[in-house]
Amino acid sequence: ALLREKGLHARRSYKTTRNVGKLLTDASKANALFTVILGQELDRGCVVVKNMESGEQVEVQQNQLLDHITS
Protein backbone atom coordinates (compact mmCIF):
# COMPACT_ATOMS: atom_id res chain seq x y z
CA ALA A 1 0.00 0.00 0.00
CA LEU A 2 2.83 2.40 0.84
CA LEU A 3 4.39 2.01 -2.60
CA ARG A 4 1.06 2.68 -4.33
CA GLU A 5 0.44 5.72 -2.13
CA LYS A 6 3.73 7.14 -3.42
CA GLY A 7 2.66 6.62 -7.04
CA LEU A 8 4.59 3.42 -7.73
CA HIS A 9 3.03 0.46 -9.50
CA ALA A 10 3.11 -2.57 -7.23
CA ARG A 11 1.80 -6.10 -7.67
CA ARG A 12 1.45 -8.91 -5.22
CA SER A 13 1.60 -12.57 -6.08
CA TYR A 14 -1.14 -14.67 -4.59
CA LYS A 15 0.43 -17.89 -5.81
CA THR A 16 1.03 -20.44 -3.11
CA THR A 17 4.44 -21.76 -3.98
CA ARG A 18 7.78 -22.09 -2.29
CA ASN A 19 9.50 -21.78 -5.66
CA VAL A 20 10.80 -18.21 -5.50
CA GLY A 21 12.52 -18.69 -8.85
CA LYS A 22 9.15 -19.19 -10.55
CA LEU A 23 7.78 -16.03 -8.94
CA LEU A 24 10.86 -14.07 -10.05
CA THR A 25 10.37 -15.38 -13.60
CA ASP A 26 6.78 -14.12 -13.49
CA ALA A 27 8.00 -10.72 -12.26
CA SER A 28 10.56 -10.57 -15.05
CA LYS A 29 7.89 -11.35 -17.66
CA ALA A 30 5.85 -8.48 -16.20
CA ASN A 31 8.89 -6.18 -16.73
CA ALA A 32 9.31 -5.50 -13.02
CA LEU A 33 12.27 -3.27 -12.19
CA PHE A 34 12.51 -4.54 -8.62
CA THR A 35 11.07 -7.37 -6.61
CA VAL A 36 10.58 -7.32 -2.86
CA ILE A 37 10.98 -10.72 -1.26
CA LEU A 38 9.39 -11.26 2.13
CA GLY A 39 10.97 -14.02 4.14
CA GLN A 40 12.58 -14.70 7.48
CA GLU A 41 14.17 -11.25 7.29
CA LEU A 42 10.79 -9.82 8.32
CA ASP A 43 11.54 -10.96 11.88
CA ARG A 44 14.33 -8.35 11.87
CA GLY A 45 12.22 -5.69 10.15
CA CYS A 46 13.93 -6.24 6.79
CA VAL A 47 13.02 -7.32 3.26
CA VAL A 48 15.16 -8.47 0.34
CA VAL A 49 15.07 -6.21 -2.72
CA LYS A 50 16.19 -7.64 -6.04
CA ASN A 51 17.11 -5.38 -8.95
CA MET A 52 15.69 -7.35 -11.86
CA GLU A 53 18.05 -5.76 -14.39
CA SER A 54 21.35 -6.29 -12.59
CA GLY A 55 20.33 -9.30 -10.50
CA GLU A 56 21.73 -7.64 -7.37
CA GLN A 57 19.94 -8.53 -4.12
CA VAL A 58 20.24 -6.50 -0.95
CA GLU A 59 18.62 -6.64 2.45
CA VAL A 60 16.88 -3.39 3.34
CA GLN A 61 15.11 -2.18 6.47
CA GLN A 62 11.37 -2.00 5.78
CA ASN A 63 11.27 1.70 6.66
CA GLN A 64 13.97 2.38 4.02
CA LEU A 65 12.35 0.39 1.19
CA LEU A 66 10.83 3.36 -0.61
CA ASP A 67 14.08 5.33 -0.48
CA HIS A 68 16.03 2.34 -1.77
CA ILE A 69 13.91 1.69 -4.85
CA THR A 70 13.45 5.35 -5.78
CA SER A 71 17.09 6.41 -5.44
Q: Is the pLDDT of residue 23 over 80?
A: yes
* Domain containing residue 14: CATH number: 3.40.50.800
The per-residue pLDDT for 4 is 86
Are 57 and 48 in contact, with CB atoms under 8 Å apart? yes
* pTM confidence score: 0.86
Q: What is the mean pLDDT of residues 46-50?
A: 97
Domain span at 50: 2-70
Of residues 47 and 9, more confidently modeled: 47
> What are the pLDDT digits (tens) for 25-43?
999 999 999 999 988 999 9
Q: Which residue has the higher pLDDT, 9 or 45?
A: 45
Q: How many domains does the chain have?
A: 1
User: What is the distance between the alpha carbons of residues 55 and 71, in angstroms, rounded to a whole number?
Assistant: 17
pLDDT of residue 65: 95
Contact criterion met (CB below 8 Å) for 64 and 49: no
- Residue in 36, 32, 63 with CA at minimum distance from that of residue 47: 36
The CA radius of gyration of the chain, in Å to the nearest whole number, is 12
